[in-house]
Structure 1
Amino acid sequence: MYATTIRGTSYRFPDLKSLMAKATPLRSGDCLAGIAATSAAERVAAQMALADLPLSVFLNEALVPYEEDEVTRLILDGHDRNAFAPIASLTVGEFRDWLLSDGVDEDALAALTFGLTPEMAAAVSKICRNQDLILIAAKRRVVTKFRNTLGLRGRLSSRIQPNHPTDDARGVLASAIDGLLLGNGDAVIGVNPASDSPGQCYELLSLLDELRETLNIPTQSCVLAHVTTTLQLMERRAPVDLVFQSIGGTQAANSSFGIDLALLRESREAALALRRGAIGDNVMYFETGQGSALSANAHWNCDQQTLEARAYGVARMFDPLLINTVVGFIGPEYLFDGKQITRAALEDHFCGKLLGLPMGCDVCYTNHAEADQNDMDDLLTLLAVAGVNYVMGVPGADDVMLNYQSTSYHDVLAVRRMLNLAPAPEFAQWLADVGLTDARGDLQAPALPASFAPLLERA
């Protein structure tokens, strides 16, 4: 039992998962689950009680039963008590103060990584203002490598997302070339296939690999098929750079995706065996999103933000090149409006960075949410200030296959210019070498590079 009293009114929370849920800033998914605070006063009371909670409690009270959930076992069995030692005596509130202090720098946060459980990261995020989430996350950079170097300070990378409703090769190629000409694509050129058939995915992989090799682009490609499809493709020696999979924060949520931890391990080993990375071996690409466990009835009455952080506990065990929260994609049932989407994205990025992940974000919303592109402009800028590793580049910010709104190639350029950010260094050099940027690194409009001509004719 956890309790606090405010102006003579006592508030009681029967267990840790209830306290965590009630302390979460308002969002529609927790209301849908029936676990949200019933009033602003109850939410503040829960946040006050949470702030006074020792961090060590999270090592002794599992929100999802250890015996019944392999994600819980992964988190607790992988906890590093030596790394935890510097903050072992702190409460959640004291931990927030520690994170904000000037003496805690990037090295201190890096050393802490495996001393934190996802639940600890989620807890401290619940008592942070948006400004706190941005300031703390900006201290931490997480660098990964495959064919280029992602996550360096002063850099903002992007994924070209050239989806097509029928997987038409010309449509995919045209969208990808458009993105490259606008300086996007250093994180990955990644297609969500309309069909998950191995044959169709093989054709898309071959198309993207041909594009990359023809132009000698220092980036990586990915077809975001289910991991079992990708395993089949690797057995056929398809040009697989990265293994993609959506993941969740409970074993049951992952089962709803058709995966478990053993399958993820198998796929990572298969991708490493291909040895396609030029300068590194981060071969996994994960996507997450608040509300996925609830939508699968796999949430164990936990709040959606804490379960999102637990998904990061899964991801960090596989050394991914990329991970991103598709923050507004699941819909207003889980994040109702622009304000909730913004808060969730900043929480996700903050928790992921604390847990040592190369966090990206699909800054997005569905057309039936109470949000618009101005909300996305605001969020994109806030995330860039917070040091997000990468965001999406979608033609016109409108995905014609998945039918949702994201960020465009031009949005990436705007934020890079406003905040003096650059692409990954190897990719920036390639842009200069092919004549797409000038000596300062600014995009220019020269004659079309000769190497692009045959591809444009095909597109």
Structure 2
Amino acid sequence: MLHRRRFLALGIATPFGSLAAFGSESAVLGDQTSSGGLETLMSQRGGWDLAVYRRILGAANEPKEGDAIVGVAAADEAERQMARQTLLATRLETIDLHPPFSDALLTMINSAVDPSKQRELSAWTFAQLKAALLSLPEPDLHQLRRGLTSDVIAVVVRLMTNEELIQLGSRLFNPLPGSKIGSRGYMGARIQPNSPTDHPDDIRWQVFDAFAYGVGDILVGTNPVSSEPASVLAVQNCLRDVLQTFELTDVLPHCVLSHIDVQSTVEQQAPGSTALWFQSIAGNDSANQTFDISVEKMRQHAAGRTGRFGLYFETGQGADFTNGHGHGVDMVIFESRKYGFARAL
């Protein structure tokens, strides 16, 4: 019987060769880490070594099966701690100057960062950034994050424990404008009225059922069976009619989670039928091509959303790798870039 991890490993190239099985032939970092940070380490090696760099980034992560298959996971806990110590002593600008993978999406993401704030933070080490994140008051954290790139964020979170991440998350909030959603002490929910036949009656009664429990303040969003524009329009109209009946259209959006091109077509055919537009996004250009989107396409769609409700995204850590677009980079880097993509739009 072919083990799932063995199956995933077949044919996947890594910076250290092709993995024949999970965890095999992964080069051990050993003395390739440095208490002086990546700058010192690469200087000692005589130049920037991309394979070693990617491996140190991956080794600092908590164990992930995908990272191991790509060939960038730590061999053991001692190696993980060595990688983390190296990154803690590394300056933020070093990560920004040496992206582990470059494409048009990264260029877009970095262009959305405040350049003056980024320069102000450039000489900080990750140890300093981590300390600031865990000690500064919330208003200062919001100022700080304006100068942080997606890759810097991806690095610092792997240097924090679960308890530290929870501590940070309990102090930092980004509520939606004009709403309590996302604010301190507030929990919201999406209604997901799906139907195996996209039948409006089935969908409508599921919304009523959710309302009976007092949930559904974030979104009424259906995952459709059919992505044909006519079918998507029928579901859009069903959801909109319910919200209009309860006079909720100004505070609660609806969405049919078809491809964004289909939602655009529906809106063109029936103006006002859509509200929030959905799209799955990935963390690099080639992975986004599997979703039939690009930086330019998403910019065009975002520019056209001028009403109260804009765009809504879903990501999945590891989706880039599992779709064959890991590019030898750990999964946290690309997951962070997905959020940077959304922020830039």
TM-score relative to the length of structure 2: 0.82
1:165 lines up with 2:165 in the alignment: no
Provide Cα deviations, 1:411-441, integer angstroms capped at 9, x if missing partner. xxxxxxxxxxxxxxxxxxxxxxxxxxxxxxx
1:108 lines up with 2:150 in the alignment: no
Residues 293-308 of structure 1 mapped to structure 2, 5 A cutoff: 293-308=320-335
The corresponding residue for 1:350 is none
The corresponding residue for 1:290 is 317
The corresponding residue for 1:75 is 109
Partner-residue secondary structure (3-state), 1:190: strand
The corresponding residue for 1:180 is 211
The corresponding residue for 1:206 is 237
Residues 40-59 of structure 1 mapped to structure 2, 5 A cutoff: 40-59=77-96
Percentage of pairs with the same residue? 27
Provide Cα deviations, 1:49-103, integer angstroms capped at 9, x if missing partner. 11111111122101112xxx111111233332322355332211221111111xx
The corresponding residue for 2:18 is none
Task: Determine the C-alpha separation between the residues in 1 that align with 2:243 and 2:275.
Answer: 11
The corresponding residue for 1:257 is 291
The corresponding residue for 1:61 is 98
Partner-residue secondary structure (3-state), 1:244: strand
State the 4+ residue runs in structure 1 displaced beyond 6 angstroms.
none
1:32 lines up with 2:69 in the alignment: yes
C-alpha deviation, 1:271, in angstroms: 2.7
TM-score relative to the length of structure 1: 0.62
Task: Determine the C-alpha separation between the residues in 1 that align with 2:117 and 2:327.
Answer: 29
Q: Which has the higher contact order (CA 8 A, sep 6+)?
A: 1
Task: Determine the C-alpha separation between the residues in 2 that align with 1:42 and 1:163.
Answer: 46
Distance 1:205 1:149, change over 3 A: farther
1:16 lines up with 2:39 in the alignment: no
Task: Name the amino acid aligned to 1:77.
Answer: S
Task: Determine the C-alpha separation between the residues in 2 that align with 1:16 and 1:311.
Answer: 21
The 8 Å contact of residues 243 and 285 in structure 1, kept in 2 or not, is answered as yes
Task: Determine the C-alpha separation between the residues in 1 that align with 2:75 and 2:96.
Answer: 28
Name the count of aligned residue pairs.
Answer: 300
Moved more, 176-185 or 70-79: 70-79
Partner-residue secondary structure (3-state), 2:146: helix
RMSD of aligned residue pairs (Cα, Å): 2.0
C-alpha deviation, 1:33, in angstroms: 2.2
The 8 Å contact of residues 243 and 267 in structure 1, kept in 2 or not, is answered as no
The 8 Å contact of residues 113 and 146 in structure 2, kept in 1 or not, is answered as yes
Task: Determine the C-alpha separation between the residues in 2 that align with 1:160 and 1:283.
Answer: 18
| 2:257 corresponds to which of 224, 241, 244 | 224
Task: Determine the C-alpha separation between the residues in 2 that align with 1:258 and 1:286.
Answer: 14
Task: Name the amino acid aligned to 2:205.
Answer: A
The 8 Å contact of residues 231 and 270 in structure 1, kept in 2 or not, is answered as no
Task: Determine the C-alpha separation between the residues in 1 that align with 2:305 and 2:91.
Answer: 41
Greater share of residues in strand: 1
Moved more, 72-81 or 300-309: 72-81
Which residues of structure 2 form unaligned runs of 5+? 1-28, 36-40
1:122 lines up with 2:146 in the alignment: no
C-alpha deviation, 1:286, in angstroms: 0.5
The corresponding residue for 1:135 is 167
